């Protein structure tokens, strides 16, 4: 991430000059995903199984913005809120892929979507893993949270369907990646959300995803992270014009960032 987001007292960030997380630039979290309101299972805290792991460095000027608690069912899908720094592994007990702190680089609580569970281990989605592939953390190092929302994006229909508890609550028309920078398909998860203090190419808001764009143009300075974000040109909605991210209208983006917690599963289909 080559630049720092500027966050005001209200928790919004300046959009000008942002770089480093795909087309959305630098993202700061406004998810406010407090564990209490979504808590499903609470493993007793235990000591780490190895040497202390340094927490991911994050800009001091960035901070999350809390959202009001929302009720959620005590059933899956689940997110895993880290209780302590952890090692993300390629498989249970396997090679260490990354070391994760309890907060993202933008100071939101780190909550990872859980896609598998195995004998004391959780399979989770992270931007440090290849698209769609689970990394593994020890279950004792996280608290399971019930994730109320799930998103499914359909590239051919250029639409995102939002479900809460399995029921459709909103449909969004979106722009998708242009030929050569097609939006990747697969399973992803929300990592952070934010609003921008100044209108720019990315509109009012963004929802950062765990996925990456494998076909970044050589002259593109914005990094390879995927996101759903707004746009300064809403006439592009419904077209294949982006560098891989999904673009949505302002009203839809405001609706998303007010509701979606980190860890929300996102599926993108062809």
Q: Are residues 190 and 227 in the same domain?
A: yes
Q: Alpha helices, DSSP H only, in 12-89?
A: 35-38
- Phi, psi (5° rounding) for residue 250? -55, -50
Q: Are residues 154 and 265 in the same domain?
A: yes
Tell which residue, 265, 260, 268, has the closest CA to residue 108. 260
162-214 confidence digits (pLDDT tens)? 999 999 999 999 999 999 999 999 999 999 998 887 667 889 999 999 999 88
CATH number at residue 232: 2.40.440.10
Helix (H, G, I), strand (E, B) or coil at 135: strand
pTM attached to this predicted model: 0.75
pLDDT at 196: 83
* pLDDT reading at 16 higher than 80: no
| Residue 123, domain member (yes or no) | yes
**Parallel/antiparallel/unpaired status of strands 111-118 and 78-82:** antiparallel
Q: Which of 117, 146, 175 marks a domain boundary? A: 146
Residue with tokens 């949505």: 248
Q: Angle CA(144)–CA(41)–CA(162) in degrees, nearest 5?
A: 50
* pLDDT reading at 76 higher than 80: no
Structural domain of residue 111, as residue ranges? 35-43+55-146
**Helix and strand numbers, DSSP H then E, in the chain:** 2, 17
CA distance 235 to 151: 23
Q: Which residues pair with 80 in a beta bridge?
A: 112, 144
DSSP-derived secondary structure for 64-82: ----------SSSSEEEEE
Tell which residue, 223, 192, 224, has the closest CA to residue 205. 192
Domain count, the chain: 2
Q: Are residues 89 and 187 in the same domain?
A: no
pLDDT at 94: 97
pLDDT at 64: 38
CB 102 within 8 A of CB 82: yes
Query: Sign of torsion, CA 231 109 185 244?
Result: positive
* pLDDT reading at 8 higher than 70: no
CA distance 73 to 75: 5
210-263 confidence digits (pLDDT tens)? 999 888 776 665 678 899 999 999 999 999 999 999 999 999 999 999 999 999
CA distances from 18 to 4, 151, 163 (A): 7, 26, 31
96-127 confidence digits (pLDDT tens)? 999 999 998 878 899 999 999 999 999 999 99
Interval 88-99 mean pLDDT: 97
CB 210 within 8 A of CB 7: no
pLDDT at 195: 85
Q: Which of 109, 124, 146 marks a domain boundary? A: 146
| Residue 28, domain member (yes or no) | no
Q: What is the mean pLDDT of the chain?
A: 77
Q: Where does residue 159 rank: exposed (0-12), middle (13-18), buried (19+ CB within 10 A)?
A: middle
CA distance 53 to 56: 9
pLDDT at 201: 82
* Residue predicted with more confidence, 109 or 33: 109
């Amino acid at each position: 991430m080559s630049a720092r987001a500027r966050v005001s007292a209200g928790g919004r960030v300046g959009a000008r000059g942002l770089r480093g997380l795909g087309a959305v630039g630098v993202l700061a979290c406004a998810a406010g995903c407090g564990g209490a309101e979504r808590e499903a299972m609470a493993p007793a805290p235990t000591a780490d199984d190895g040497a202390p792991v340094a927490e991911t460095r994050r800009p001091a000027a960035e901070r999350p913005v809390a959202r009001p608690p929302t009720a959620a069912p005590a059933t899956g899908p689940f997110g895993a809120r880290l209780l302590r720094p952890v090692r993300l592994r390629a498989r249970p007990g396997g090679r260490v892929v990354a070391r994760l702190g309890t907060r993202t680089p933008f100071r939101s609580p780190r909550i990872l979507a859980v896609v598998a569970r195995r004998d004391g281990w959780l399979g989770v989605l992270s931007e440090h893993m290849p698209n769609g592939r689970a990394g593994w953390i020890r279950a004792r190092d996280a608290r399971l949270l019930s994730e109320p929302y799930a998103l499914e994006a359909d590239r051919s229909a250029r639409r995102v369907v939002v479900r809460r508890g399995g029921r459709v609550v909103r449909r969004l028309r979106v722009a998708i990646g242009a030929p050569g920078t097609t939006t990747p398909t697969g399973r992803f998860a929300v990592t952070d959300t934010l609003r921008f203090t100044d209108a720019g190419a990315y509109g009012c808001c963004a929802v950062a995803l765990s996925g990456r764009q494998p076909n970044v143009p050589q002259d593109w300075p914005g990094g390879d992270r995927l996101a759903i974000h707004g746009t300064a040109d809403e006439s592009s909605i419904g077209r294949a014009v982006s560098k891989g991210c999904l673009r949505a209208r302002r009203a839809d983006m405001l609706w998303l960032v007010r509701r979606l917690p980190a860890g929300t599963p996102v599926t993108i289909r062809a």
